[in-house]
A and B are shown apart, each in its own frame.
Chain A
């Protein structure tokens, strides 16, 4: 009896935590481009797009997808893998950096390994040919085409 009461208490505690957490979180877009969709699926209609570093207010969570609101007040769903709990700063010198916020909580976009480092590395390794890498990055399959591909192939 005690045991069940304990489990119930623990679950209620965690449920409360999850609700509080969802209601107070903001997260950063950590991918180059993201989409806010009307439903929590890649097939959801795109309402608006978001960019690297954009801060989004978390409204709800469902099976790995987050309902969010962007600074313009537009809301939609985005997959959690596109978001980071860190505050991603796009430009050095912003107030968060000047205030000395902890490194665990913020990150500077472009810091560390970036285009400039890649360029320096490539100049030291001229044998590296990026032409196929650049080409393959241009190959993009939309969610609609992905579904059509499965449907046509009878994948159920």
Chain B
């Protein structure tokens, strides 16, 4: 019994993600005679795999990928040149990001409105988040817009963009680190790296703009959004009302979320249990007024 409990406890820590602690626990477990050497090695391999998948790509590399993904998307979508609306979006978005599980990225979180009627939003790796005018128009108040942004922040937090890179691609040149890295990049190596960069950017853009993430990733982003909203003081019920409004306008086909996201009905069902007992918040006059001012500006765009 004791052995099982200790193994479970160590694996629980592994799932939380702290590989060093896990490995140390496994070593102590072996030293205390409750784990065999084989079990210790197995736990260590699990810890290594977890850490490697989470940290293979340095935030610095994620940053450059994110910039290229955003630039690619901005080739298909026009940015909305509305300084006050973009300032408001960043005040709200960066405030929410500070309450996420990953408040710090290499270059920080930044938000930009897109001049598009589509209901759409994109989270580029590293924290560059693009939101369409159509999606903002769908929101009836600041809390609902907060729910939209919190969902996108969750995709950055969960490294969903990076996970979209085809795992079969050769990552040797940009992942392998160590002694090889000491060499100066030659022209051929640089060309090869730029090719791998291009492949990776395309994988991410195709996923966020056409294929969408896995259903489970979207549900997780919704659950994480609820956590972010709750921590900042916005009502998590705003996610539900925003999705209900989206459901009203859902056409099931065409560009935007209809192509890349599970239906609002599906998402509402997945978060129903997480919202049990959540309290509605009263939207203050100032909060309503500043949101209305932005919406007025957007309608004139």
Point out residues on A near B: beta carbons under 8 Å: 2-3, 5-7, 9-11, 13-14, 16-18, 20-21, 25, 30-32, 34, 42, 52, 64, 79, 81-82, 84-86, 88-89, 92-93, 97-98, 100-104, 106-118, 120-121, 124-125, 127-130, 132-133, 136-137, 139-141, 143, 145-146, 149-150, 152-156
Instruction: Type the 1/0 row for B278-291, where 1 means its CB is closer than 8 Å to any CB of A.
Output: 00011110110010
A106-B178 contact in complex given A17-B25, A30-B106, A32-B106, C-beta closer than 8 Å: yes
A103-B75 contact in complex given A85-B20, A137-B107, C-beta closer than 8 Å: no
Contacts A113-B65, A114-B60 supplied; 15 other A-B pairs, CB < 8 Å: A10-B6, A17-B28, A31-B59, A42-B103, A52-B106, A85-B19, A88-B58, A97-B181, A103-B177, A113-B200, A118-B64, A118-B68, A137-B128, A143-B98, A150-B233
Of all A-B residue pairs in the complex, the 6 with the closest CB atoms, nearest first, are: A154-B284, A112-B174, A153-B287, A103-B178, A108-B181, A146-B95
Interface size class of B (residues with CB under 8 A): 35 or more
Supply 8 A–B pairs (Cβ within 8 Å), ascending by A.
A6-B5, A14-B9, A84-B59, A92-B181, A130-B67, A140-B90, A146-B95, A149-B91
A127-B177 contact in complex given A9-B6, A143-B98, A146-B94, C-beta closer than 8 Å: no
Number of A-B contacts (CB under 8 A): 228
Report whether A113 and B106 are in contact in the complex, using a CB–CB cutoff of 8 Å. Answer: no
The smallest C-beta distance from A131 to any residue of chain B, in angstroms, reads 9
Report whether B24 and A21 are in contact in the complex, using a CB–CB cutoff of 8 Å. Answer: yes
Report whether B60 and A30 are in contact in the complex, using a CB–CB cutoff of 8 Å. Answer: yes
Contacts of A114 in B (CB 8 A): 60-61, 64
For B24, the closest partner residue in chain A by CB is: A17
From B6, B104, B190, contact of A6 by CB (8 A): B6
Contacts of A2 in B (CB 8 A): 1-2
In whole angstroms, what is the CA distance A21 to B26 when docked?
A: 13
Point out residues on B near A: beta carbons under 8 Å: 1-2, 4-6, 8-10, 13, 18-21, 24-25, 28-29, 32, 48, 51-52, 55, 58-61, 64-65, 67-68, 70-72, 74-75, 79, 86-87, 90-92, 94-95, 98, 101-108, 110-112, 128, 142, 173-179, 181-185, 190-191, 193-194, 197-198, 200-201, 232-234, 281-284, 286-287, 290
Contacts of A124 in B (CB 8 A): 194, 198
In whole angstroms, what is the CA distance A2 to B197 when docked?
A: 56
From B2, B59, B72, B182, contact of A5 by CB (8 A): B2
In whole angstroms, what is the CA distance A31 to B193 when docked?
A: 22
Contacts of B112 in A (CB 8 A): 132, 136
Most chain A beta-carbon contacts within 10 A, residue among B24, B32, B198: B24
The smallest C-beta distance from A80 to any residue of chain B, in angstroms, reads 8
The smallest C-beta distance from B178 to any residue of chain A, in angstroms, reads 4
In whole angstroms, what is the CA distance A31 to B111 when docked?
A: 19
Report whether A6 and B64 are in contact in the complex, using a CB–CB cutoff of 8 Å. Answer: no
Report whether B67 and A133 are in contact in the complex, using a CB–CB cutoff of 8 Å. Answer: yes
Report whether B102 and A81 are in contact in the complex, using a CB–CB cutoff of 8 Å. Answer: yes
For A111, the closest partner residue in chain B by CB is: B181
